Structure 1
């Protein structure tokens, strides 16, 4: 989990946190498995939104 450790270390840097906050981003840390679960939940939410709104993919 070196990648996770390095990202977490980088996100603790004051300058990085400030720049990201200036872009409206909210930082949250945690293990990769927690992030994967968040992504899976978001995918399910957006699948429902797309289906209910009858959004079609176009080229």
Structure 2
């Protein structure tokens, strides 16, 4: 049996994602986030550490991360 954990996301972020995926074939924010993460992990290009830090800072500045 698989074990799960919980990831907390700001309600505003989840609402933004819900609006974004409204016309997409994802049944939930969870499915979309899983798809994006798996896609990024399988990408040969990936992102650099600097890009990851820049993205994290931007999400933090927008209030999506603490």
Shorter-chain TM-score above 0.5:
no
- What TM-score, normalized to structure 2? 0.34
Q: Relative contact order: is structure 1 or structure 2 higher (C-alpha 8 Å, sep ≥ 6)?
A: 2
Q: Which has the larger radius of gyration?
A: 1
- What TM-score, normalized to structure 1? 0.37
Structure showing the higher helix proportion among its residues: 1
